[in-house]
Amino acid sequence: MRSFLFVPGSKPERFAKALAAGADAVIVDLEDAVADADKASARAHVADAARTFVAAPVRVLLRINGAGTQWFEDDLSLAALDGIDGIVLPKAENSAALSAVATATQKPIWPIIESAEGVWNALEVARMPGVERLIFGSVDFELDLDCDGSWDALLHARSRIVLASRVAGIQSPVDGVTVAINDEQQLAEDSSKARSLGFGGKLCIHPRQVEAVNAAFSPSADEIAKARRIVEAYERAEGGAVSMDGRMVDLPVLLKARRIVGLSEKTESVRGSAEA
């Protein structure tokens, strides 16, 4: 899962479009995208639409309001609905809120790390039962630290989240949004840098961002071709030492090549199923 497209819970007329946008997952948002006065009606819209989510071609996640807010308990009650495949928990900073979510639902939890405390406790959060992947809430983190939000300013936080995910043995994390909706170059650069650090996907705030994010977090044709050459060369050598393009191919290089080949085959299989 590479691309995660937000859709406001208060805009049910956009649900079908979001589900058909090509994202690997859709996050129905009850938090930042919904005004306080519209929280209750947004929950009602989600409850009404949940039966249609069951047949959706992608996973549907629900971003609830954070623990400690007046909407938390009511939002959490929607977790049991068929069609909701996981809960996105904002302001994840420690085990307390995650325990409440895990107790209320058996569905996967996707904590958003978006504060200094959250980044500091990222490993604790990642190790909590039920946590599937961490998400970096870069915009709120920038606000919390009162930093400029540049790549360098957020590099340590991103690296810490990637490391925590790996140490905890969960899937690679999801990077935050690119707020410049119409800046394709910025989106491509942000996605490429995030992938280079070890992120496995990215949040999207507009359908037009989905295709670029999917491409950025998928092996390129050149990467796939090179990986296949490495695997084939190693197999021909029957485990012996292999040199290719002036580089020694040792076991870590081989394993990474096999991972790329496997990912490309899985992506093609998913694409074929969707087209069928």
Q: Quick one: pLDDT band at residue 242, thresholds 50, 70, 90?
A: confident
Percentage of the chain with pLDDT > 70? 87
Pairing of β 247-249 and β 242-244? antiparallel
Q: Quick one: pLDDT band at residue 187, thresholds 50, 70, 90?
A: very high
Q: Look up the pTM and report it.
A: 0.85
Residues 54-68 have a mean pLDDT of 95
My answer on whether 157 and 230 are in the same domain is no
My answer on whether 79 and 159 are in the same domain is yes
pLDDT reported for residue 212: 96
My answer on whether 174 and 71 are in the same domain is yes
My answer on whether 177 and 57 are in the same domain is yes
CATH number of the domain to which 86 belongs: 3.20.20.60
My answer on whether 187 and 233 are in the same domain is no
Q: Among 181, 124, 114, which residue's Cα sits nearest to residue 149?
A: 114
pLDDT reported for residue 241: 65
Whether 202 has a pLDDT exceeding 70, the answer reads yes
Domain containing 255 equals 221-275
pLDDT reported for residue 245: 73
Least confident of 19-23, 173-177, 199-203, 242-246: 242-246
Whether 276 has a pLDDT exceeding 70, the answer reads no
Answer with the one of 216, 241, 259 that is the final residue of a domain. Answer: 216
My answer on whether 134 and 234 are in the same domain is no
Is the CB of residue 196 less than 8 Å from the CB of residue 7? no
Residues in the chain: 276
**DSSP string spanning 57-91?**
SSEEEEEPPPTTSTTHHHHHGGGGSTT--EEEESS
Domain count, the chain: 2
Residues 59-74 have a mean pLDDT of 96
My answer on whether 227 and 207 are in the same domain is no
pLDDT reported for residue 10: 98
Of residues 96 and 156, more confidently modeled: 156
Residues 87-96 have a mean pLDDT of 94
